[in-house]
Structure 1
Amino acid sequence: MILKTISDLGLAVREARRRRKLTQKQLAQTLGTTQEWISQFETGRLENPSLGTVLKAFAALGIDLNIDSVPGSLRNNDLDTGDLALDEPSFLKGRRR
């Protein structure tokens, strides 16, 4: 599965959780979060999930995360990134030496 959006991450977690016959509540307890957080994440309603919690969910569910580089140079308009941000955070702008 190619993951391009935060919603795609949530779908991957939901599929893996269901394959392992875990409830949202059971996964939430494992991750130290709430059933509501799991529900919102799996359905794409959580705008900014914690990367740490997402990675913990992947590890707990045995989801492998592989990052492949794309050949050639990339520009922002070359990618279909959906809801992933590519812009430099405002607090970093102007700080480069």
Structure 2
Amino acid sequence: MSDVVAAGAWVEIERVLLEPEQRSPQLPEETRSTPYVLRMSGFLDAEARLGDEVTITSLIGHQHAGTLRLVNPSYEHSFGTTVPELLHIGLGEEWR
């Protein structure tokens, strides 16, 4: 059964913390109309399949529950492309 994720695997879970109707009325409508979602990585406590409700143990030993979303998650963000004009800030005149 290749779709079973083994206990101890590094995974990501997702859990809705606030439903749209629970969000602050001061938020912009576009934000207020979506759930506030937590995504967290940790070690899977028991074997499961993607989409199952599971518990994980974080790197500091706390247990968290949520829906199993990813196996071996990685970071997908960046700080954008390099801005050459910023590379020499703070390096001193000898580097310019």
TM-score above 0.5: no
Higher strand fraction: Structure 1 or Structure 2? 2
State the structure with bigger RCO (CA 8 A, min sep 6), 1 or 2.
1
Q: TM-score, normalised by structure 1?
A: 0.26
Higher helix fraction: Structure 1 or Structure 2? 1
Tell me which structure has the larger Cα radius of gyration: 2
